[in-house]
Chains A and B, each alone.
Chain A
Amino acid sequence: MPPSSPPPPGPPSGTPGSAFLTPPDPSRPGVRKLYRSSEGRMVGGVARGLAGHLGLPVLWVRALFLVLTAFNGIGLLLYAAFWFFVPLGVGGVAEAKEPRDARSWLAGKRPDKGQIMALIALAVGTGILVDNLNLGAANRAVWPVLVIALGVALVWRQADNARKARWVEMSHGKRFWPLVRAAGGVVLVVAGVTGFIVVRGSGNHLGGALQAALAVLVGVALLAGPYLVRMAQDLSAERLMRIRAQERAEVAAHVHDSVLHTLTLIQRNAEDAREVARLARAQERELRAWLYRPEGTGREEEPATFADAVRAAAAEVEDAHGVPVEVVCVGDCPLDEHLTPQTQAAREAMVNAAKYGGGGGPVQVYAEVEEDRVFVSVRDHGPGFDLDQVPEDRMGVRQSIIGRMERNGGTARLRAAPGGGTEVELEMERVAAS
Chain B
Amino acid sequence: MEPTSAAEIAARLEETGYLSDEGLATVTFLALRMQRPLLLEGEPGTGKTALAEAIAAGLGLPLVRLQCYEGIDATQALYDWDFPRQILHLRALEAAGGTNDVTEAEKSLYDERFLLARPVLAALQQAPAVLLVDEVDRADDEFEAFLLEVLSTYQVTIPELGTVRASTPPVVVLTSNRTRELHDALKRRCLYHWIDHPAPAREMAIVRSRAPEISAALTEQVVAVTQGLRAEGGLQKPPGVAETLDWARALHHLGTTELDLATASATLGALVKYREDGERVRQALDRMLRP
Verify that A and B bind, or say they do not: no
